[in-house]
């Protein structure tokens, strides 16, 4: 297993191209199950999660080729409708094969994903939506077994205690493409990744309206065809580079971004004093002098994304004054606090709030990554810290960042890999 060793204090400067979005890609790969015709997906990031989804599609009978940044999915004579525990337990997003499998084959058996380090992460909203489409659900031996003689369109309220759900919206949207009549999803997730999925489904022939708003309408059909699609840029990877520029007092130009996807993040960074310059499909982030403290609350899109919370905490930990982060999507997503404190940060947790008293300087330490975004936050902290930081368990990082260390090195960071 590798760890990343960082010598902090280098000012990052230069240009970097942002990869395709992991969270847009995974449900779109699952959507290829809705057709027997070939589908091509372009701009695919090389991630561990991409490889896991390829394994899942293969286990369900698809032939998948992944060359350069292109994925080609074709059908074979073999079809399986069982998504195995071994694969689903390694990546929660694999649960979104449930919607397309049910739609296409009217039955499937998908392992329940279980909890993870950032919280309980139930799937009740997915099941509520599926049931409303006239499916029968049985939970047996850790699997959800669903079947329906005929899927029927319905009006489904999909909001939960923590707001809308991205993957439940994806699952129901995909299941409803073959449900008789019209399905309306109220309190649907509005994330750009849902819009990208809707656009892919529409290319396959689906009739969907209202995507990107809390009310999505899907008119059920009997058949979808193959399609070709380019994945949107990864707004979380881009946001991570924005913090890298600021935390190292540098300047980074991000290429291949959709700046419309960054509302709350750009607004907050601007409020804290960052220099932000947009041009066509690029954004430049520049450290323009000491930043001001700020408060953020994570919320479903277009609010501040929970997937940027840990990285923002690293920045706030060396921003003068007191900043408060309120985590409203995953109230327990704070595993990184203890590690940042080991690097000299002053962060106190009170329930869903983190109170961050900015320190002048972090100091390098041996730290351990607990999840994907926490890994990124520790690397960012290491870039700013005095001395040597080693981040172990970086396999979490490889789940969702396409060559992050190589890209940071190109921007001037002093990072190398070592065996743990």
Residues binding ligand UD1 (CB under 6 A): 23, 26, 92-93, 119, 121-126, 160-162, 165-168, 193, 306-307, 329-330
Residue closer to ligand UD1 by CB (options 82, 112) is: 112
Residue closer to ligand UD1 by CB (options 129, 294) is: 129
Which positions ≥6 away from 92 have C-beta within 8 Å?
113, 116, 121, 167
Q: Distance (Å, rounded) from C-alpha 43 to C-alpha 69?
A: 5
User: How many CB atoms are closer than 10 A to CB 271?
Assistant: 13
**Cβ at position 5, least distance to ligand UD1 in Å:** 27
Sign of torsion, CA 166 172 177 183? negative
Parallel, antiparallel, or unpaired: how do β-strands 353-357 and 346-350 relate?
Answer: antiparallel
Residue 96 a catalytic site member:
no
Residue closer to ligand UD1 by CB (options 93, 356) is: 93
Residue closer to ligand UD1 by CB (options 79, 335) is: 335
Q: Distance (Å, rounded) from C-alpha 337 to C-alpha 374?
A: 9
**Cβ at position 263, least distance to ligand UD1 in Å:** 14
Closest CA to 16 of 414, 403, 370: 403
Residue closer to ligand UD1 by CB (options 118, 291) is: 118
**Cβ at position 388, least distance to ligand UD1 in Å:** 30
**Cβ at position 300, least distance to ligand UD1 in Å:** 7
**Is 232 strand, coil or helix?**
coil
Write out the DSSP string of 292-315.
PP-EEEE-STTSB-GGGHHHHHHH
Parallel, antiparallel, or unpaired: how do β-strands 295-298 and 322-327 relate?
Answer: parallel
Unique residue bearing structure tokens 């999505």: 216
Evaluate whether 285 touches 276 at the Cβ level (below 8 Å).
yes
Closest CA to 58 of 80, 25, 31: 80
Which position among 39, 96, 108, 116 bears the catalytic label? Answer: 116
Q: Tokens standing for 225? A: 């065809």
Closest CA to 352 of 145, 162, 68: 162
Residue closer to ligand UD1 by CB (options 124, 138) is: 124
Unique residue bearing structure tokens 């599926």: 130
Active site residues: 116
């Amino acid at each position: 297993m590798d760890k990343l060793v960082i010598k902090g204090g280098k000012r990052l400067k230069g240009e970097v191209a942002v990869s395709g979005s992991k969270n847009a890609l995974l449900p779109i790969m699952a959507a290829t199950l809705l057709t027997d015709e070939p589908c091509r997906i372009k701009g695919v990031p090389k991630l561990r999660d991409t490889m896991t989804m390829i394994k899942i599609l293969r286990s369900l009978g698809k032939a998948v080729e992944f060359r350069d940044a292109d994925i080609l999915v074709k059908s074979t004579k073999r079809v399986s409708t069982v998504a195995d525990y071994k694969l689903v337990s390694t990546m929660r997003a694999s649960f979104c094969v449930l919607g397309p499998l049910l739609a296409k084959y009217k039955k499937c058996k998908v392992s329940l994903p279980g909890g993870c380090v950032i919280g309980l992460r139930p799937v009740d909203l997915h099941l509520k939506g599926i049931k409303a489409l006239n499916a029968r659900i049985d939970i047996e031996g850790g699997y959800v077994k669903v079947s329906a003689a005929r899927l029927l369109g319905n009006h489904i309220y999909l909001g939960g205690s923590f707001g809308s759900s991205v993957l439940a919206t994806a699952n129901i949207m995909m299941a409803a493409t073959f449900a008789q009549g019209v399905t309306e999803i109220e309190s649907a997730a509005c994330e750009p990744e849902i819009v990208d999925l809707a656009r892919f489904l529409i290319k396959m022939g689906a009739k969907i309206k209202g995507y990107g708003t809390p009310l999505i309408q899907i008119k059920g059909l009997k058949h979808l065809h193959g399609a070709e699609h380019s994945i949107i840029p990864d707004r979380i990877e881009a946001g991570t580079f924005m913090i890298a520029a600021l935390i190292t007092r540098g300047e980074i130009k991000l290429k291949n971004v959709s700046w419309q996807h960054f509302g709350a993040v750009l607004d907050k960074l601007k409020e804290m004093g960052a220099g932000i310059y947009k041009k066509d499909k690029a954004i430049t982030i520049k450290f323009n002098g000491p930043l001001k403290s700020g408060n953020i609350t994570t919320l479903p899109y277009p609010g501040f994304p929970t997937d940027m919370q840990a990285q923002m905490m690293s920045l706030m930990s060396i921003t003068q004054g007191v900043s408060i982060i309120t985590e409203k999507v995953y109230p327990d997503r704070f595993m990184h606090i203890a590690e940042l404190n080991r690097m000299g940060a002053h962060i106190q947790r009170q329930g869903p709030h983190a109170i961050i008293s900015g320190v002048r300087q972090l100091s390098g330490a041996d730290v351990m990554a607990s999840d994907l975004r926490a890994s990124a936050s520790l690397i960012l902290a290491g870039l700013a810290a005095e001395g040597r930081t080693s981040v172990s368990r970086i396999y979490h990082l490889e789940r969702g960042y396409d060559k992050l260390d190589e890209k940071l090195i190109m921007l001037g960071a002093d990072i190398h890999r070592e065996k743990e």
